[in-house]
Amino acid sequence: MSGFFNGLARFRRGPWELVASVLIALGVVMLMQPFFLVLYTYSFIVTLIGTVMFIITSHFPE
Amino acid sequence: MTFTPIDKAARATPPAMARRIRGLSDRTIAWIFVAPSIFLLLAVNIFPLIWTIRLSFTNFRVNRPNNDVEWVGLRNYQRILTDEGTWATMQATAHFLIWTIVLQVLIGFALAFLINKKFRGNDLWTTIIVFPMMLSPAVVGNFWTFLYQPQIGLFNYVVAFFTGADPASFSMIGDVMLAPWAIVIADTWMWTPFVMLICLAGLRSIPNSIYEAAECDRASKWRQFWTITIPMVLPFLMLAVLFRGIENFKMFDLVVQLTGGGPGNTTTLTSIDLKREAFEKWRTGYSSAYAVILFVTVFGLASIYVKALNKVKER
């Protein structure tokens, strides 16, 4: 776990890509879930942040 | 003295042009060759994307070109993301997407596993199984509407044969509960062969020597399946899921032909809803915002999926 946070602090690709992937997946689940309208409302912004973050962090060093 | 075709081409080039070409570096010549493709890509893919993003912030309507186009900021996005009707189409799409992928992967892999065994008529069965994939989605949609007919449809009679229910007592296309399953079944019937072919390629790429080594180590068939077959076919399966996921997210023709998005809006998928907003209600700005939301979703999902695929391939 400390390796993950160290990676985040040192701008390493692995942990940042993981965060971005989790955000994208969360956004898609929020978009398609049938339970809360408020989650649907904020789904796009979560997916967008995740996608942009993924594009940026995929250029970070390993 | 004989001349090669290259010599002939060099001699045929006018001296002025030859001098100019001789002065170009390899890098420049490479750019000259690549430039038309890049230009075409920018014109056909990138420019419409940027234009769509720009339109998504306006109230532009393509059927009223003389009206003033107002900059509305995020209002289109706000409307889409607070609209319960659009939310329902997202749920219908999720239902369609999840169930088609699950069924197609399970049945496709099972068929590939069976077809991979050597038996008489193997090639004939492969051709028969692959046949639905070769048909046009509009044709498939059309004849599944006949199969689903409560009075004369074969599907109802098959279900009645196994369950004992009256064939005319239910309508796959007309019932709110059954219609989402009707489109899942038709799409699964059509596209399972595609998944089967990809899985078959994966199964045939596994060297026999690995199974022979496992036999020497007295590994059971069950253990061979889980420790050799599945891990080695997994990249192929993931590729099939990626292709089908992206395709089914955009599914339009088959569903329009089969149910037209009904009954009510129960089978209105996002692509159908988007088409209605863009070309029936002519809300171009609004539908552009809708398209951007779908694009970001598919792009994001495809990004993490390709990353996962690469990781599996590296193992």
- Interchain contact, B296 vs A51, CB within 8 Å: yes
| Residue B122 touches chain A, beta carbons under 8 Å | no
Mutate to test the interface with B, among A19, A26, A38, A51 (most CBs of B within 10 A): A51
Separation in Å, CA B102 to CA B159, B192, B231, B270, B285: 22, 10, 18, 20, 35
- Residue B58 phi, psi (nearest 5): -125, 170
List the alpha helices (DSSP H) in chain B: 5-12, 15-22, 26-41, 47-55, 75-80, 84-115, 122-134, 137-147, 154-163, 179-204, 208-216, 221-224, 230-249, 253-258, 270-279, 284-314
Q: Give yes or no for a cis peptide into B14 (omega within 30° of 0).
A: no
* Residue B1 confidence (pLDDT): 61
Q: Report ipTM for this prediction.
A: 0.92
pTM over 0.90: no
Q: Which residues of B touch A40 (CB under 8 A)?
A: 81, 87, 90
Structurally, at CATH architecture level, domain B75-314 sits in Orthogonal Bundle (1.10)
Separation in Å, CA B248 to CA B55, B202, B232, B238, B311: 26, 22, 25, 15, 24
Separation in Å, CA A57 to CA A8, A18, A35, B286: 11, 10, 32, 31
- Interchain contact, B84 vs A32, CB within 8 Å: no
Q: CA-nearest residue of chain A to B88?
A: A34
Q: Which residues of B touch A51 (CB under 8 A)?
A: 296, 299-300, 303
CA atoms of B277 and B287, how far apart (whole Å): 6
* Residue A58 confidence (pLDDT): 87
Instruction: Assess contact for B198 and B239: CB atoms under 8 A.
Output: yes
Q: What is the DSSP string of B75-102?
A: HHHHHHTT-HHHHHHHHHHHHHHHHHHH
CA atoms of B229 and B222, how far apart (whole Å): 10
Burial of B53 (0-12, 13-18, 19+ CB in 10 A): middle
- Residue ranges per structural domain of chain B: 5-55, 75-314
For each of chain B's 315 residues, which pLDDT tens digit applies? 667 887 888 788 888 777 777 777 888 889 999 999 999 999 999 999 999 999 999 999 988 888 888 899 999 999 999 999 999 999 999 999 999 999 999 999 999 999 988 788 888 888 888 899 999 998 999 989 999 998 888 998 999 888 888 888 888 888 899 999 999 999 999 999 999 999 999 999 999 899 999 999 888 989 999 999 999 999 899 889 888 988 898 899 999 999 888 788 899 999 999 999 999 999 999 999 999 999 999 999 888 888 888 887 777
More confident call, A6 vs B200: B200
pLDDT higher than 80, residue A52: yes
pLDDT higher than 90, residue A46: yes
- Interchain contact, A40 vs B296, CB within 8 Å: no
Q: Which residues of B touch A32 (CB under 8 A)?
A: 90-91, 93-94
The structure tokens listed for B169 are 């007592």
Task: Please name every residue paired with B160 in a beta bridge, in sequence order, or none if there are none.
Answer: none
Task: Please name every residue paired with B71 in a beta bridge, in sequence order, or none if there are none.
Answer: B58
Confidence of residue A12 (pLDDT cuts 50, 70, 90): confident
CA atoms of B58 and B210, how far apart (whole Å): 60
- CA of B80, closest CA in chain A: separation in Å? 8
Q: Cα B152 vs. chain centroid, distance in angstroms?
A: 32
Burial of B45 (0-12, 13-18, 19+ CB in 10 A): exposed
